[in-house]
Structure 1
Amino acid sequence: MRVALYARVSTADKDQNPENQLVLLRREAERAGDTIIKEYVDEKSGGSSNRKAFQELMRDAGKRRFDLVRVFALDRFSSEGIEKVFEHTAALEQAGVQFWSYCEPQLNTTGPVASLFKAIISWAADYRNQRHSENVRLGQARKRAEVAAAGEEYQHGCRPTDVDIVAKVKRLGAEALSQRKISEATAYRSARSTAT
């Protein structure tokens, strides 16, 4: 099997060396008869996906340059929280790339519990989509209430072009409003931008 190895240490962890992780991952790859395609190493906090080697790993996974990603531990792969870990592993799964953790074999997408972990990944992705949809609905409901309280009619999505925009600007200017307030009062804001 073609494999990629991913190792990460935080910049704050001066005593850590990614080689400690890579030695174990190379040994496991050799034991399994894998061919190591590339080793990806970040020396940066795992609290963000904005890591050079991590981004390269995910791009290469999308191009199917390897079949399996081996990491030392989930928190070395990402420490953004379990939802983001599931999101990243789901992206690998969609690309046809399996995931394997040295410290958490029960969460590998290979082996006897693979189907269970894949089901969890799928559930997490679905849950995230539901949360996003609910946030959009809540934002629209809040906007409707605000517009109704102002005595106006709520427009979902793009509102019609205001043919009297010049007159409205003049009227607001006569009320001694600042340019910023006038701009806010006349600018288009989509319903989507009101989501929480």
Structure 2
Amino acid sequence: MKVALYARVSTSDKDQNPENQLVLLRREAERAGDTIYKEYVDEKSGGSSNRKAFQEMMKDAGKRRFDLVRVFALDRFSSEGIEKVFEHTAALEQAGVQFWSYCEPALNTTGPMASLFKSIIAWAAGYRNQRHSENVRLGQARKRAQVAAAGQEYVHGRRATDNAVVEEVKRLGAKKFSVRKISKATGVSVGTVQKYLKQPTQIQ
């Protein structure tokens, strides 16, 4: 199996050395008969995924340049919180890349607990998508309330259209501009242009 080794140490702790993690990971890779594709090393806090080696590793995983990521411990992989950890491991899973931790074998996607861990990853990804949808709906409701309070009309996906824009749409329509050209000139959607013109217009 072709594997990637990932090690991380914090810049705040000068006593740490990534080689301590890599020695163990190399030994485990050798024991399993793995071929090491690359060693990715960061010397940065794990509180953000904006780490050069980490980002490079995730991109290479997306290109399926290796089959497995080996890390010393989950907090070396990421200390952004459990939700982000599941997000990163879900990305690996979707790319067909497995995950293995020296200190947390129960979380490996290669062992007897693989099915359970993969189910948790899938649940976490679904929950995140659901929460994102809810946040979008809440944002739209807030915008509608703000627009209504200002006495304007809420147009989904765009800012409220004021009277000046409505008049500009009608002016261009009177000059026989096509609906599409009016939409491009005013930044108003095609459907909204047709609504303000209140007449069927051929889109060109």
- Superposition TM-score tier, normalisation by shorter sequence: 0.7 to 0.9
Give me the whole-angstrom Cα distance separating, in 2, the residues matched to 1:20 and 1:160: 58
The residue identity in structure 2 corresponding to 1:118 is K
Q: Give yes or no for the alignment of 1:64 onto 2:75.
A: no
The residue identity in structure 2 corresponding to 1:107 is L
Q: TM-score, normalised by structure 2?
A: 0.78
**CA distance 1:17–1:74, shift in 2 (3 Å):** same
Structure 1: unaligned runs, 5 residues or longer: 169-186, 189-196
What's the Cα RMSD here? 2.4
Give me the whole-angstrom Cα distance separating, in 1, the residues matched to 2:45 and 2:158: 41
* Aligned position for 2:115: 115
The residue identity in structure 2 corresponding to 1:48 is S
Identity among equivalent pairs (%): 87
Q: Following superposition of structure 1 onto structure 2, how do residues 92-171 of structure 1 map, counting pairs within 5 Å?
A: 92-158=92-158, 164=164
Q: TM-score, normalised by structure 1?
A: 0.81
Q: CA deviation digits over 1:100-139, x for unaligned, max 9?
A: 0001100011111101101101111111111111011001
Is the 2:153–2:160 Cα contact (8 Å) retained in structure 1? no
Q: Give yes or no for the alignment of 1:3 onto 2:3.
A: yes
The residue identity in structure 2 corresponding to 1:44 is K
Q: Following superposition of structure 1 onto structure 2, how do residues 5-84 of structure 1 map, counting pairs within 5 Å?
A: 5-84=5-84
Displacement, 1:76?
A: 0.2
The number of aligned residues is: 171
Displacement, 1:146?
A: 1.6
Q: CA deviation digits over 1:82-101, x for unaligned, max 9?
A: 11111110111111100000
Larger radius of gyration: 2
Task: Say which SS state the counterpart of residue 39 (structure 2) adopts.
Answer: strand
* Aligned position for 2:172: none
